[in-house]
Amino acid sequence: MVTGLFNRTSSREGNAPPYTADEAAVSDGSLQFVVEKSGNTNEISYQEASGAPVESDSPLGYSVGAITIIFLNLSKMIGTGIYSTPSTILRYTGSIGAAMFYWTSGFVISLSSMGVYLEYAAYFPSRSGSEVAYLEQAYPRPKYFFPVIFAVQSVILSFSSSNAIVLAQYLFAINGATPSAWELKGVAIAGYTVAVLLLCFHTKYSYWLSNGIGIIKLLTLVFISITGLVVLGGHTRVSDAGANFAQPFKGSITPYGATTALYRIIFSYAGYENSFNVTNEIKNPIKTIKKNGFVALLLVTILYILANVAYFAAVPRAELEKSEQIAASLFFRHVFGSGGAVKGLNFLIALSAFGNLLAVLIGSSRQIRECGRQGVLPYPRFWASTRPFGTPLGPYFIKWIFTVIMIVAPPAGDAFNFVVDLQVYPASLFNLTLALGLIFVRQRRKRLGLPRPSFKVWDPVLAFNILVNLYLVVMPWYPPPGGKGDVSFWYGTYIVTGIAILIVCGLYYVGWIYVIPKVRGYRIRQGLITLDNGAKTHKLFKVPIAELAAWDATHDALGRDINDASSTEQDVQVGEKIVDKA
């Protein structure tokens, strides 16, 4: 089915020879493409040399199989969205029917985006980090521009505060307590800290833990879905279960409401791409992700629709529209009352939110690690190293720091809505450039006569994905009725803040790559560093202008010292001066 929906399989050119990484690079003007191969696939990839180097043996291992892909994606998708946002989506779409249409459209949009990711993965099957690697290769010039922009914003926005806050809300709901703002923040920080600690000490066991909680998440949503059907059948304490469906399209929707609801839907489906963050840890990644990623997306979509049917069957529309975030708790209360069963089910949803934190941590830690391996962040060893436990401790630590900050900083009542929107808008900009970049990658590879990918998304699907992301970039500027959105401050604060972050990233790039080097008389050159456990990373060196010729004569396109290509850690010498690598 997945093939028929968005795949046009392209075979490798019959006369293409089996290249290895040691063969000469392919040039296209100022671009130099190196031929790379890793232990996770027999396919070779051509990538522009300024990108992060391919790790021939993944220092994180190859522990990701079919089951892990399903639950890695599922656990990120089923987190806070389906339990927390249905009331918001109903409020903004204006009717039950429109809300159900939006939940269904999330599947179509996510499927089109998944096709874009799959084609990129077919070009670069040995690179983890998804967007990090794909934007780097789609836009290799200006050199380091997209790596710098994406890396800095990825670190700044590398927080999971909204999910941690919802976890805390459900933990308090178990006992029927109403927390103060700081009690809520404190429990959110504690929950997130536990999640980080559980992942720090072993990669394989962290996947097992995520899979185990993922199974519970799946069963919980299945239980809600089945209970909803029982409610519709009239076999519970709920009276007139079909009342909300009598006039499903009664109500109206505004342009602002349509856009905000779509943002919430995308937030709820975020996770379909999570397995692309660990591509280099998957054997035969394209075939494996295509099959199991689709299974996860289809399964989640069915359960999302059934869960919404359950909410609409059990909870009066007026009450659901007025609720803030915990829609599932209203469902439990109406069906089971306020007894121990509700507390137990609230615990299961809290566990589901906790599993979402784990899945997000696993995926985004690989993204941040890949940003560090590009060399555009300070101290690349900190980001790339997997010592001492074979896990990315540096990215885990950074995510913990920024999540704690973003739990504490925003006003408690607005934390959830503002943080969700703040992360989605820059993501929409990058998703738009990612989809457009696929066109450039195709043209570039065709011009160079490179082999065809093993997967290629249909052109109409790519065009649809571009239009959706363009809509998400433009429409948030449309003012809400009365000029007031879903937060206590100006409705466009998240847009301006997101753009400001990107502008700061751009200023950092211009200053670091051009202004400061020109003033201080040096140029930026990349060197390749191999750590003790086989992890590889680029580091950008400051080479004096007088010594550029010597550097360029002794380093290849990847930054390897051609006089000592086998060294595990370069002490790069220019003339008589050792360039500092710290």
**pLDDT tens column, 4-21:** 444 444 444 333 333 333
Are residues 528 and 401 both part of a single domain? Answer: no
Are residues 375 and 498 both part of a single domain? Answer: yes
Q: Is 579 among the domain residues?
A: no
Are residues 493 and 523 both part of a single domain? Answer: no
291 pLDDT above the threshold of 90: yes
Rounded distance between C-alpha atoms, residue 267 and residue 85, angstroms: 9
Rounded distance between C-alpha atoms, residue 146 and residue 140, angstroms: 8
When mean pLDDT is compared across 294-298, 503-507, 540-544, the lowest value belongs to: 503-507
Q: Is 219 among the domain residues?
A: yes
- CA distances from residue 465 to 428, 462, 468, 469 in whole angstroms, order as listed: 11, 5, 5, 6
Torsion of CA 184, 189, 195, 197, to 10 degrees: -150
* Domains in the chain, number: 2
Residue 496 is predicted with a pLDDT of 86
Are residues 524 and 469 both part of a single domain? Answer: no
Q: Calculate what percentage of the chain has a pLDDT beyond 70.
A: 87
572 pLDDT above the threshold of 60: no
Residue 273: give its domain's CATH number: 1.20.1740.10
Which of 382, 409, 385 shows the shortest CA–CA distance to 398? 382
Domain, as residue range, for 180: 26-517
Are residues 73 and 189 both part of a single domain? Answer: yes
Q: Is 155 among the domain residues?
A: yes
573 pLDDT above the threshold of 60: no
What confidence tier does 288 reach under pLDDT thresholds 50, 70, 90? very high
Which of 348, 303, 313 shows the shortest CA–CA distance to 334? 313
Residue 17 is predicted with a pLDDT of 38
The string of pLDDT tens digits covering residues 161-204 is 777 887 888 888 787 788 888 898 899 999 999 999 999 999 99
Are residues 163 and 226 both part of a single domain? Answer: yes
Q: How many CB atoms lie within 10 A of CB 426?
A: 23
Q: Is 335 among the domain residues?
A: yes
Q: Is 8 among the domain residues?
A: no
Q: Is 559 among the domain residues?
A: no
Span 330-356, mean pLDDT? Answer: 81
Q: How many CB atoms lie within 10 A of CB 235?
A: 11
Residue 470 is predicted with a pLDDT of 93
Last residue of a domain, one of 517, 539, 568: 517
Contacts of 39 (CB under 8 A, 6+ apart): 56, 57, 58, 62
Rounded distance between C-alpha atoms, residue 367 and residue 155, angstroms: 10
Structure-block tokens of residue 484: 């007031």
The string of pLDDT tens digits covering residues 17-74 is 333 334 446 777 778 888 888 888 888 889 998 888 998 889 999 999 999 999 999 9
Are residues 466 and 535 both part of a single domain? Answer: no
Q: Of all helices (H) and strands (E), which one includes residue 34?
A: strand 31-36
Rounded distance between C-alpha atoms, residue 170 and residue 182, angstroms: 15
Residue 83 is predicted with a pLDDT of 78
pTM above 0.85, yes or no: yes
Give me the long-range contacts of 485-489 (CB less than 8 A, separation at least 24).
485/256, 485/260, 486/88, 486/260, 486/417, 487/414, 487/417, 487/418, 488/411, 488/413, 488/414, 489/414
Span 384-410, mean pLDDT? Answer: 89
Structure-block tokens of residue 398: 């950074």
Are residues 463 and 530 both part of a single domain? Answer: no
2 pLDDT above the threshold of 70: no
Are residues 512 and 549 both part of a single domain? Answer: no
Q: Is 576 among the domain residues?
A: no
Span 315-332, mean pLDDT? Answer: 78
Reported as half-sphere exposure (CB side, CA atoms, 13 A), residue 284 has a value of 7
Residue 39 is predicted with a pLDDT of 85
Residue 14 is predicted with a pLDDT of 36
Last residue of a domain, one of 517, 538, 564: 517
The string of pLDDT tens digits covering residues 509-546 is 999 899 999 999 999 999 998 887 788 999 999 999 99
Average pLDDT score over the chain: 84
Are residues 372 and 279 both part of a single domain? Answer: yes
Rounded distance between C-alpha atoms, residue 358 and residue 171, angstroms: 17
Residue 319 is predicted with a pLDDT of 85
Last residue of a domain, one of 499, 517, 535: 517
Residue 419 is predicted with a pLDDT of 66
- Asked whether the beta carbons of 541 and 579 are under 8 A apart, the reply is yes
Contacts of 483 (CB under 8 A, 6+ apart): 491
Are residues 540 and 410 both part of a single domain? Answer: no
Q: Residue 138 is which amino acid?
A: A
Are residues 512 and 522 both part of a single domain? Answer: no
